[in-house]
Amino acid sequence: MDYVHALHGQGKKAHAEFGWLMYLGLFNIVLGFLAVTFTQFSTLLTMLYFGWLFILSGLGSLYLAYKFRQIGGHWSLFVFGTLALVCGFLMLGNPHGDAVILTLLAVVFIFTSGWVSLLSCFFTPQPHKLWVAFGGIISILCAFVIYMEWPISGNWVPGTFLGVYLIFHGFTQVQIAATGRRLAKTV
């Protein structure tokens, strides 16, 4: 159950809580526009966030490896935890260089997903084939534009992606909150 269904289950009490979701959505929208406006700064913050995320994940994995040492199977957790720690410290040490590498990986992913979308149109009968093909072509073009500016694009792509994500996630939260408040009044 997600938070939206949990709030709906609260009946009239949920009316005020949907207001908080509205404020959170508006806050995410503002953060998203700031991230898109100041892409180099948001790219740096994104890479530092990933670095700390790897470190915390690595520490958690090492802790579980220690806890599971008596029952076996802990070596994979130890290896993954150590690898996550190394990656995290490397990302904290050189966030701009890692942003360039992350951008290249994103280009490969976007390009590949675009081709898979295009190829799926030829091999599977779909009623929405043109939209899938259109999305695939847009993905390939976006990957091409980002790659043509690579490695310079590593300075702005992660921050821009974060900003666009925050904007759309914020709009989604605002729409859920508006609909939830309307529904909560009628319950």
CA–CA distance, 134 with 131 (Å, rounded to integer) = 5
Q: Note the pLDDT tens digit of each residue in 87-118.
A: 889 888 888 888 888 888 888 888 888 888 88
Task: Indicate whether 55 pLDDT > 90.
Answer: yes
Task: Indicate whether 1 pLDDT > 50.
Answer: no
**Rounded alpha-carbon distances, angstroms, from residue 23 to 32, 81, 102, 113, 170:** 14, 37, 32, 34, 9
Task: Indicate whether 13 pLDDT > 70.
Answer: no
Of the pLDDT bands very low, low, confident and very high (cuts 50, 70, 90), residue 5 is low
Strand locations in 40-146 (E): none
pLDDT for the residue numbered 30: 92
Q: Note the pLDDT tens digit of each residue in 110-157.
A: 888 888 888 887 777 777 778 778 888 888 888 888 888 888 777 787
> Cα torsion for 90, 77, 68, 52, to the nearest 10°?
30
Domain boundaries, the chain: 11-186
Strongest mean pLDDT among 1-15, 74-88, 121-135 = 74-88
Closest CA to 103 of 12, 40, 169: 40
Q: Can you count the helices (H) and strands (E) in the chain? A: 7, 0
Task: Indicate whether 187 pLDDT > 70.
Answer: no
Of the pLDDT bands very low, low, confident and very high (cuts 50, 70, 90), residue 184 is low
Q: Token pair for residue 16?
A: 């005020």
Of the pLDDT bands very low, low, confident and very high (cuts 50, 70, 90), residue 4 is low
